[in-house]
Amino acid sequence: MCYLICIAVVLCLATLTYDMAYKSYIRTVNEKIENICDALVAKYPELDAADIMAVLSADKTVDRHFLERYGIDPNEEPAIAVLESYRWRYMLLLAVIIIGGLAVPVIMSLYIKTHTRRKIADITQDIRRINAGDYSLDIGNDTEDELSALQNEIYKTMVTLREAGENANNDKLILKDALSDISHQLKTPITSLSIALDNLSMCKEDALLREKLIKNARRDVIKISSLVQLILKMSKLEAGTEKMIKQEVSLRMIVSEAVERVEALADLKNIAIEISGRDGMFSCDPFWQAEALVNIIKNAVEHAASDVHIFLESNDVYTAVSVINDGEPMDEEDMRHAFERFYKGKNSSRDSVGVGLALSKTIVEQDGGYISVDTDIGKTRFVIKYL
């Protein structure tokens, strides 16, 4: 494209130069003719100006050898000497314009090739650094040519790869810690189960002892199964393989379903559960939110002295549910770590594995809500809000 533009410019300049040369030539010739005419009229007053103009305008030459008698070749040189200088002057100017015009695309081509090679070399070096794991690139480029756009896209890809690498490293550390915690949590019940089975194999006659060992083994199996199920649920949510299916539901309906799943434990511990407040409709995944509330209410029942109060709240800004138990309030340290995986508070039960509250937090946040814990008038209160 640039070559065509340069050629067009050269042609325009050449045309303008020719036009200027032609006009200057005509002007010079006319001036000389005027001088000749003035000299003839001055020397020969009887000459008529019309006759002179008729001679100048005639197509035929009366004496074709007139100029030759004065040493002038009419085919090679002008009769007026000054016109020769005009000829060479404009030929030189035209040559400069043509050569300069043809040189411009050549220079531009060399510049573009050099710039392109340098740019490609820079991009190649950047790609090699990225492949080597070096993401410390600083590609600040305000130009808008194609290679600069490509370099900027490579920079964006590099940023994405760097973030993915950092996230992968963080995920590895989290996985390492999680596996360590899981191993620790499983170690105790598995050891206990192994001991119980060994004792069972040796205890063949004492029926009461065998029954006790079987009961303990069953308890350990249930604990391991519960822990594995909770971890699988949490892993699915964190990995994004379990999608939330939202729909408009009643807050009281979800709370009532969660309470039904905890009633057996509440009856066993003689804990009353009361629901009050204003019901409301909101958008969530009812299955998973009921799962989150089950863990919160179960925790409240386990730490309550006599009752658990569930208060519903709904307005134009948010929908919330508060779960309050009248047991010994949670201390500040336990509140800071309450939603951490495998954390067990000071007043946790023996069978607690420290996953339930962490799972609830993951579920609530996946559904666009948030969860918190505090103490209210000497009571522990969990609050879940959905905006």
Task: Please report, for the domain that includes residue 382, its CATH number.
Answer: 3.30.565.10
Among 63-77, 165-179, 261-275, 313-327, whose mean pLDDT is lowest? 63-77
Residues 236 and 162 in one domain: yes
Report the CATH number at residue 206.
1.10.287.130
Residues 353 and 268 in one domain: yes
What would the pLDDT profile of 320-343 be if each residue is shown by its tens digit?
A: 999 999 888 888 888 888 888 777
Q: What is the pLDDT of residue 13?
A: 67
Out of 200, 221, 242, a domain closes at 242
Residues 168 and 237 in one domain: yes
CB-based contacts of 27-32 (< 8 A; 24+ apart in sequence): 28/80, 28/82, 28/83, 28/86, 29/80, 29/83, 32/80, 32/82
Residues 253 and 275 in one domain: yes
Picking from 353, 347, 349, the residue whose alpha carbon sits closest to that of residue 222 is 353
Q: What is the pLDDT of residue 382?
A: 93
Please name the helix (run of DSSP H) or strand (run of DSSP E) that holds residue 248, with its range, or none: strand 247-250
The yes-or-no verdict on residue 209 having pLDDT over 90 is no
132 inside domain: no
130 inside domain: no
Residues 290 and 263 in one domain: yes
Helix, strand, coil percent content, the chain, rounded in steps of 5:
65, 10, 25
Report how far residue 239's alpha carbon sits from residue 175's, in angstroms, rounded to the nearest whole number: 12
65 inside domain: yes
Would you state the structure tokens that stand for residue 261, as one six-digit string? 């799943």
The yes-or-no verdict on residue 135 having pLDDT over 70 is no
Residues 234 and 264 in one domain: no
Residues 59 and 171 in one domain: no
Domain around 233: 138-242
Count how many domains the chain has: 3
The total number of residues shown for the chain amounts to: 387
What would the pLDDT profile of 237-286 be if each residue is shown by its tens digit?
A: 766 667 778 899 999 999 999 999 899 889 889 999 999 999 999 999 88
Out of 93, 124, 155, a domain closes at 124
Would you state the structure tokens that stand for residue 380, as one six-digit string? 């522990």
The yes-or-no verdict on residue 86 having pLDDT over 60 is yes
Report how far residue 229's alpha carbon sits from residue 227's, in angstroms, rounded to the nearest whole number: 5
Answer whether 0.75 is exceeded by the pTM.
no
Out of 242, 265, 281, a domain closes at 242
Q: What is the pLDDT of residue 307?
A: 92
129 inside domain: no
Counting Cα atoms < 13 Å in the Cβ hemisphere of 96 gives: 7
The yes-or-no verdict on residue 183 having pLDDT over 80 is no
The model's confidence at residue 154, banded by pLDDT at 50, 70 and 90, is confident
Mean pLDDT of 199-203: 75
Give whole-number Cα distances, 334 to 165, 330, 347, 355, in Å. Answer: 34, 6, 9, 14
Cα 107-109-111 angle, rounded to 5 deg: 70
Residues 376 and 261 in one domain: yes
Per the model's pLDDT, the better-predicted residue between 178 and 91 turns out to be 91
